[in-house]
C-alpha cells in the first residue's frame, strides 16, 4: 500500500476518488480530510500559512468539542503531520495553471479530463494543458494522441505544426518533425496551419508536410493503428519511420541507407518482425545488437 501522505496528496490533487481513499484509510479519514480542505479554502485571500491555518482549525474543532462532539485526536494529529504536504500540493495545484502528461518510450498513456473527454497518448508523446476550461479547453500536444471529446466549450489541440479545433468528436493527431497528420473518426474538426484550413468529417484525413497542406483523403478505419499495436505509414520518410521505431521499442537506430519514402506498417510486439517489415520492401538490411538495444539499417 502507498504511504498515507502520498494517498492524501493524490486525493487532494484529484488523482484518486473518495471511494479509493476510503478503502485505503477508512471513512473517518476521508471526513477529516474534507474538513481540513474546507479550512484551507478559507485561506485563499492570503499567502498560505500552514501553522496559522492549522491553529484556526484546532480552535474550530475545540469549539465543536465543547458542544459535545468527540474528536479522534490521534487521527487529527496524524493528518496535521501531513499539512505541509497538503499546502504544497494545494498551492501547486491551484496556483499553477497548467498540467503535463507524458508517455515514455515503449509505453502508452490514457487520461480522462475533468469534463470526461479523454486522450490516449502514443509512445514518446506528451501534452500540456490549461486547468481553467471556463472559456475553452486548450491542450498543447507533442507527438501523437487520440482524443475523444465531450460536447461543450471549444476543444483546441495546438502543436508546433498546426492547430485542431473541435466541439465534440473523436480524432487522432500525429505531430512529429515537419509532418502533421489528422484523422477524424467521428464528428467534425477544423485543421489550421498558418493561413491554410481544412474541415474534416468522419472518415477523412489530411496531411501537412513541411507546412504545405495536402488534399484531404478518405480513410476506412475508425481508430489509429497504433492503438491495435501497429504503426502505419503512408508515403513517409524512412527517417520518420526509424524515429517511430525508436519510440515504440526504446532502441537506438542508426540509419546508413539513403533517405526514401515508406508506405506500410510494423508491429509493436516483435522487433525483428518490425525491422523486416521496414527493410524488406525497400531492399535494405539491418544488424541488431545482442542486447537488442541498438540497430543499424543500411
pLDDT-derived band at 19 (thresholds 50, 70, 90) equals confident
CA distance 7 to 213: 47
CB 242 within 8 A of CB 177: no
CB 204 within 8 A of CB 231: no
| Same domain, yes or no: 280 and 291 | yes
Q: For residue 279, give its domain range.
A: 229-297
- According to the model, what pLDDT value does residue 230 have? 94
Give mean pLDDT, residues 4-15. 66
Q: How far is CA 117 from the centre of its chain?
A: 12
- According to the model, what pLDDT value does residue 97 have? 80
CB 256 within 8 A of CB 297: yes
Domain end among 95, 116, 140? 95
Query: Does residue 148 form part of some domain?
Result: yes
- Kindly report the average pLDDT of the chain as a whole number: 80
User: Does position 261 have pLDDT exceeding 70, yes or no?
Assistant: yes
Closest CA to 149 of 185, 182, 181, 193: 185
Handedness of CA 46, 52, 58, 62 (dihedral sign): negative
CATH number of residue 148's parent domain: 2.60.120.1440
| Same domain, yes or no: 192 and 138 | yes
Query: Does residue 30 form part of some domain?
Result: yes
Half-sphere exposure of 33 (CA within 13 A, CB side): 24
| Cell numbers standing for residue 62 | 475545540
CATH number of residue 251's parent domain: 3.55.50.30
The residue behind cell 518490425 is 274
Give mean pLDDT, residues 257-269. 93
- State the DSSP H helix or E strand holding residue 42, giving kind and residue range, or none if neither: none
Burial, 11: exposed, middle or buried (Cβ in 10 Å; 0-12, 13-18, 19+)? buried
- What are the C-alpha distances in Å from 85 to residues 5, 99, 187, 296? 7, 19, 43, 48
Give mean pLDDT, residues 196-207. 94
| Same domain, yes or no: 240 and 210 | no
- According to the model, what pLDDT value does residue 7 have? 66
Query: Does residue 223 form part of some domain?
Result: no
Angle at 128 between CA 215 and CA 166, to 5 degrees: 40
pLDDT-derived band at 17 (thresholds 50, 70, 90) equals confident
| Same domain, yes or no: 264 and 288 | yes
Half-sphere exposure of 236 (CA within 13 A, CB side): 24
User: Does position 178 have pLDDT exceeding 60, yes or no?
Assistant: yes
- According to the model, what pLDDT value does residue 58 have? 53
| Same domain, yes or no: 236 and 212 | no
Render pLDDT for 74-124 as a digit per residue (tens, 0 to 9). Answer: 444 445 445 444 444 444 444 468 899 999 999 999 999 999 999 999 999
Query: Does residue 224 form part of some domain?
Result: no
Count Cβ atoms below 10 Å from residue 84 Cβ, excluding itself.
13
Give mean pLDDT, residues 27-53. 55
| Same domain, yes or no: 179 and 191 | yes
Count Cβ atoms below 10 Å from residue 106 Cβ, excluding itself.
14
Q: How far is CA 176 from the centre of its chain?
A: 16
Angle at 235 between CA 287 and CA 102, to 5 degrees: 70
| Same domain, yes or no: 155 and 251 | no
| Cell numbers standing for residue 123 | 509512445
> In the chain, how many domains are there?
3
Give mean pLDDT, residues 156-179. 90
Amino acid at each position: 500500500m502507498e504511504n498515507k501522505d502520498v494517498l492524501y496528496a493524490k486525493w487532494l490533487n484529484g488523482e484518486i476518488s473518495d471511494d479509493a481513499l476510503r478503502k485505503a484509510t477508512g471513512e473517518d479519514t476521508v471526513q477529516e480530510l474534507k474538513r481540513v480542505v474546507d479550512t484551507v479554502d478559507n485561506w485563499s485571500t492570503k499567502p498560505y500559512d500552514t501553522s496559522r491555518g492549522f491553529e484556526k482549525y484546532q480552535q474550530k474543532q475545540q469549539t465543536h468539542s465543547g458542544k459535545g462532539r468527540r474528536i479522534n485526536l490521534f487521527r487529527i494529529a496524524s493528518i496535521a503531520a501531513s499539512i505541509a504536504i497538503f499546502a504544497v500540493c494545494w498551492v501547486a495545484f491551484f496556483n499553477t495553471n497548467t498540467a503535463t502528461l507524458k508517455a515514455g518510450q515503449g509505453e502508452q498513456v490514457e487520461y480522462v479530463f475533468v469534463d470526461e473527454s479523454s486522450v490516449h497518448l502514443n509512445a514518446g508523446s506528451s501534452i500540456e494543458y490549461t486547468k481553467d476550461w471556463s472559456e475553452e479547453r486548450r491542450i498543447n500536444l507533442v507527438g501523437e494522441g487520440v482524443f475523444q471529446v465531450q460536447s461543450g466549450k471549444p476543444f483546441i489541440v495546438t502543436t508546433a505544426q498546426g492547430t485542431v479545433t473541435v466541439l465534440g468528436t473523436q480524432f487522432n493527431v500525429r505531430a512529429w518533425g515537419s509532418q502533421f497528420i489528422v484523422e477524424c473518426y467521428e464528428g467534425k474538426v477544423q485543421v489550421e496551419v498558418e493561413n491554410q484550413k481544412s474541415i474534416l468529417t468522419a472518415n477523412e484525413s489530411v496531411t501537412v508536410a513541411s507546412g504545405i497542406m495536402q488534399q484531404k483523403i478518405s480513410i476506412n478505419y475508425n481508430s489509429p493503428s497504433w492503438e491495435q499495436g501497429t504503426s502505419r505509414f503512408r508515403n513517409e520518410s524512412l527517417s520518420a519511420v526509424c524515429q517511430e521505431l525508436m519510440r515504440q521499442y526504446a532502441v537506438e537506430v542508426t540509419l546508413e541507407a539513403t533517405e526514401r519514402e515508406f508506405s506500410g506498417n510494423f508491429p509493436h510486439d516483435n522487433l525483428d518482425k518490425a525491422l523486416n517489415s521496414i527493410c524488406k520492401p525497400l531492399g535494405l538490411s539491418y544488424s541488431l545488437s545482442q542486447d537488442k538495444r541498438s540497430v543499424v539499417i543500411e
